[in-house]
Amino acid sequence: MEHQVQDVAEAAVGEAPHAPGMPQLDFSSWPNQIFWLLVALVAIYLVLTRVALPRVSAVLAERRGAITNDLLAAEELKQKAKSAEASYNEALAKARAEAARIAADTKASIDADLAEAIAKADAEIGQRVQASEARIAEIREGMQDSVREVAAETAQALVAALGGTADASVKAAVSSRVGA
């Protein structure tokens, strides 16, 4: 320990032995440094080629395989999607055709029912028109008889009011005028 204290004291005073500089730049140690450099490079090379690079290449191969499998699965799913779309479009076309057929059948059925209802209504209206015309003819006939009777009574009343006597000739004259 005494020796160390002395070296520290000499170094403090400036009397320390002179060191030659950085050992890497000392030409006398270069062969030794080159040897250890080569040993380190060979060791690094061996570690990389035997341990690290096989693991990295295995991971890359695994990723490449996964990507390839994913691409194949995506292509398969794409084909399934295309076939599903084609099936959907086909089913949609069939459904539209079926709907059009059902609509046409329904329209034909409704048209037939409507034509039957119209024919029935026309027949009923025709019967009612005939009944109404017969009733109108009866009313007209009754009205003409009533008008003749009222006209005859009125004419007789007028003749009586004028001081004359109403006979059958008044009734005949009224009947000839009202009937015309």
Determine the Cα–Cα distance for residues 82 and 77; give it in Å rounded to an integer: 8
pLDDT at 153: 81
- State both tokens at 54: 């096989």
Identify the CA nearest to 152 among candidates 175, 131, 134: 175
Please, which pLDDT band fits residue 104 given cuts at 50, 70 and 90? very high
Mean pLDDT of 111-139: 91
pLDDT in tens, 37-74: 999 999 999 999 999 899 999 999 999 999 999 999 99
**CA end-to-end span of the chain, whole Å?**
173
Mean pLDDT is lowest, of 23-32, 70-79, 116-125, for 23-32
Higher pLDDT, 141 or 10: 141
Q: Are 154 and 177 in contact (CB under 8 A)?
A: no
Determine the Cα–Cα distance for residues 132 and 123; give it in Å rounded to an integer: 14
Please, which pLDDT band fits residue 152 given cuts at 50, 70 and 90? confident
